[in-house]
Amino acid sequence: MHLQALSPEHRAIIRVLIIGVLLPLLDTTLVNVALHDIGRQLDAPLATTQWVTTAYTLTAASIVPLSAWAANRVGGKRLWLASLTTFLAGTILSAMAWNVATLILGRVIQGLAAGLMMPVMQTILVNAVGQERAKTALAAMAVPSVIAPILGPLLGGIVLQQAGWREIFWLHVPICLLGIYLAARRLPNDGPLPDRPAFDVHGFLLLCPGMVLTMYALSTMGIEWGGFAHQSAWLSGFGISLMVLFALHANRWGSRALVDLTLFKHLRFRASAGLLLLSSVIYYGGLLLLPLYFIQVGHYSAEAAGALLALHGVGTLVSRRYLAPLSLRWGDRNVALGAILATLIGSGALCWPLLPAHSYLLAMAMIVRGAGVGVLTIQAMSSAYVGLDRPSIAHASSLTRMFTHLGATMGAAGSVALIGSSTMGHSAIAFASGFDAAFVGMMVVALLCVVPAYRLGRQ
């Protein structure tokens, strides 16, 4: 076997999709920076303005299960264009919002579009380049996901200082229009499936509310000490129960279900899904932990913390660049196990009390950790498509995005809970021990990754 390179046509498709993906990735970080100004100008308390981001996130997660049915029903290109147009409408409404309720409505519309865009992007990409080039293509598509959290706060701060929070939304409009124009011209016309699937109403009523309740409960569970908020526990239990009921329903409906869970009969897909969930816990939990650790424990400035986080992103980008040739040479299992080792080394170094005093060692730890986690996430996502037919690719995209959302929420909630359980005294020692507990927790999750990673090499 030899590595099949991306053709100029494939690279053109990737560039078009990147423009669209930039919108939801930049949007969250940009708006987070503007929350204070939004609340002040619209005369809304923080408890209300927080829903500007919460409503967006929950709406995006709730709509993901619909992406497989919609992509197979109308075609990937049509759904992509519809999502971009919907995002544009929500953006304009948000920019023109005359009160916080209107702004939240605009954010809900944006969330509906963003929740469809990410899995549909994966479906279009894999169908266009083929499964044998999926690793290379998805690694290229992952560039914005690494850069956006770094550039978003910086760009948002500049726009707020020079103009205002409304201009943050207006900034999206030309990008969105460009994305629509290029997608209409350059994306392949895949069209709907010949046998168009019927809409699974029962599955929708079980899975979508289950996802929203579970994610909302997990995101608030770590706020109180130890993460044992009773209301959040009840909500998460109810949400998980709905998802279990959906699993029973999907077992009866098979490929006709809203999301086809028969994919889990394939050993490789099970391994990929498990590895994606666990690696998302590590990756997104780290995005929350690391800046706080740099500033509160290492006493670095915000600019220095941003530079260190950028090095974490550099490690992620570089490692993903070489994922495809390494997998071809060493095999998916060995590459994944090597990435786990790098993640353990990078995360374990952060538990050394003297590390913050040695900035060069801290920088090396960030590069190593970023490289390990970067490989794990893309390895898991790309391996999920191996051996699937076209209808199943859309379902695989939906499921991988759902696992990414759940892993990201679990990582953030778990990190907050572990830090909060150890920092009741608010002393420097308490803060350090809280972060140690969180990093040890990340290392435990990394060790759990060994099980699905080992199974990647089995057929």
> In CATH, what number is assigned to the domain containing residue 65?
1.20.1250.20
Angle between the N-to-C axes of helices 51-63 and 390-422, in degrees from 0 to 180, rounded to the nearest 10? 140
Cβ neighbours of residue 336 closer than 8 Å, sequence gap 6 or more: 275, 375, 376, 379, 380, 449, 453, 456
Q: Tens digits of per-residue pLDDT, 220-231? A: 765 554 444 567
Q: Lowest-confidence range among 76-90, 296-310, 412-426? A: 412-426
Q: Are residues 52 and 116 in the same domain?
A: yes
Rounded mean pLDDT, 63-70: 90
Q: Are residues 108 and 214 in the same domain?
A: no
Cβ neighbours of residue 334 closer than 8 Å, sequence gap 6 or more: 457
310 inside domain = yes
Tokens 């549909």 sit on residue: 120
Q: Tens digits of per-residue pLDDT, 298-327? A: 888 777 877 888 888 888 888 887 887 888
Q: Are residues 55 and 178 in the same domain?
A: yes
Element (H or E) spanning 162, and its range?
helix 143-162
pLDDT on residue 140: 78
Rounded mean pLDDT, 254-280: 90
**Measured between alpha carbons, how far is 332 from 97 in angstroms, rounded to an integer?**
49
Is pLDDT at 18 greater than 60 in this prediction? Answer: yes
Q: Are residues 181 and 89 in the same domain?
A: yes
195 inside domain = no
Tokens 């409304």 sit on residue: 166
Is pLDDT at 459 greater than 50 in this prediction? Answer: no
Q: Tens digits of per-residue pLDDT, 280-303? A: 999 888 877 888 788 777 888 777
446 burial type by CB count under 10 A (0-12 exposed, 13-18 middle, 19+ buried): buried
Count of domains for the chain: 3
Q: Are residues 113 and 47 in the same domain?
A: yes
Tokens 């090499």 sit on residue: 457
Is pLDDT at 113 greater than 80 in this prediction? Answer: yes
Q: Are residues 234 and 372 in the same domain?
A: no
pLDDT on residue 255: 80
Is pLDDT at 62 greater than 90 in this prediction? Answer: no
> In whole numbers, what is the pLDDT of the chain averaged over residues?
83
Q: Tens digits of per-residue pLDDT, 34-54? A: 777 787 888 877 667 777 877
